[in-house]
Structure 1
């Protein structure tokens, strides 16, 4: 998809799923009900271009899920390896995600960001994102 110096950004394939899940345990804040092989495989099967990986020399250093449902652009799991933060990897992933959204006709990206994750707040703000205080996330677990 995009190359920035030694950084290469590409869509994940089914062969990447175990590495992505292991990476998230190191680099991502919090967990999700879908953080398992079946959940991520379903994502990649349904929208093969949605899970973007940043690699440096073949090493996974960052991820973002850039999901588009035909109506809205959703960003999840922006994660950069702790040893590689503040090197432009997150910005490169977001630029690739936004490029994808524009190509699909998307008009606005929204991101799921944990309230307690101040490090993420700074990164998202630096990329031009801001919280919308008039909205709250409402959820219902569908597992039973």
Structure 2
């Protein structure tokens, strides 16, 4: 599906596609610049494992050969989970996040997903506004509970 994943982009110079395992370092460098926060899985092994397990999950936006946006559209056979919606700062407010979400939602529709859950940092007001404008709403009844099974990589 890597080259077949295409949607109407905000301009002709933006291409939407899925990531390949050899792009893990590029994706990590992009997230360091464009995304808020870090995760225990933010390392080459974590990103590579994601792509190998679910080749359609990590959706990227490119402009002129540069990685400018990402979203993880995880499907575990039961739930649709969204992570790492990010756009490079100079490319924001051009519709790239909208196109990335459309690609994620099309993926979920194709596999029979019923609802998308987005992980959004509590302190990231800009992201909360973006998710709300895309039609997502905060779920007040639930709180996330976590337990790490491995030590985080240095710097996380």
Deviation at 1:34, TM superposition (A): 0.2
- Give the alignment of 1:45-84 within 5 angstroms: 45-84=52-91
Deviation at 1:7, TM superposition (A): 1.3
- Give the alignment of 1:10-49 within 5 angstroms: 10-49=17-56
SS at the partner of 1:86?
A: coil
Q: Which runs of 5+ in 2 are unaligned?
A: 152-156
Higher RCO (C-alpha 8 Å, min separation 6): 2
Deviation at 1:14, TM superposition (A): 1.1
| Aligned-pair Cα RMSD in Å | 0.9
Runs of 4+ in 1 over 6 A off after TM superposition: none
Distance in 2 between residues matched to 1:136 and 1:128, nearest whole Å: 20
**Number of equivalent positions:** 144
SS at the partner of 2:60?
A: strand
SS at the partner of 2:42?
A: coil
Q: Is 1:119 the counterpart of 2:146 in the alignment?
A: no
TM-score (norm 1): 0.97
Deviation at 1:2, TM superposition (A): 1.6
Q: Name the structure 2 match of 1:2.
A: 6
Deviation at 1:127, TM superposition (A): 0.5
Q: Which runs of 5+ in 1 are unaligned?
A: none
TM-score (norm 2): 0.90
